[in-house]
Amino acid sequence: MAYWLMKSEPDVYSIDDLKKDKREPWDGIRNYQVRNMFRDQMKIGDLAFFYHSNCKPPAVAGIMSIASKAYPDATQFDPKSRYFDGKSDPENPRWLLVDVKYKRKLKREITLSELKEHKKLQDFRLNQRGNRLSVIPVTKKEWNLILNLE
DNA sequence: GCCAACGTTGGC
DNA sequence: GCCAACGTTGGC
């Protein structure tokens, strides 16, 4: 089983929204590296941190599981959506997504600055500068270290 | 609001 | 295929 961290801006979609919805398509990904991770690496049952980005403070807020295989993101064909992509061919959709399922909120949020301070997380992808991927792989070791901060 | 990092686009 | 211009992400 693999572990992930997935970013979302809480103003747009937060862990509390997912708690309410229980299960939701993780739509709007328009980055090929992330699409390929969805397609090639994510498996049903994988676990992912729900990370609140672009907010104060940025932090890991909860845990969810991957609930589907990758399938086409419907928003790419919806002209009203901000994620619309007119160049995507319905016969061969460019953008994929996975469904995620709410598991739980962390007992407390673990902030980015805490993660940065952690000696054993210096190599963690989220802590490296210029990291702009909205979905990043997490090793089992990193996963456990982060959960231990809870 | 600023800006560093980095992906994408398009002219050549 | 190169690379300048531009757009986006996201911490600060």
Give the model confidence (pLDDT) of A100-145 as tens digits: 999 999 999 999 999 999 989 988 989 987 788 999 999 999 999 9
* Encoded tokens for A78: 């919806």
Name the nucleotide with the smallest C1'–CA separation from A31.
B7
Give the model confidence (pLDDT) of A24-69 as tens digits: 999 999 999 999 999 999 999 999 999 999 998 999 999 999 999 9
Domains of chain A and CATH, by start = 3-147 (3.10.590.10)
CB A84 within 8 A of CB A78: yes
Name the nucleotide with the smallest C1'–CA separation from A130.
B5
Q: pLDDT at position A79, please?
A: 87
Note the CA–C1' distance, A129 to B3, in angstroms. 13
What whole-number distance in Å separates Cα of residue A123 and Cα of residue A150? 20
* Encoded tokens for A141: 């070791």
Q: Which of A17, A111, A121, A32 is nearest to A64 (CA)?
A: A17
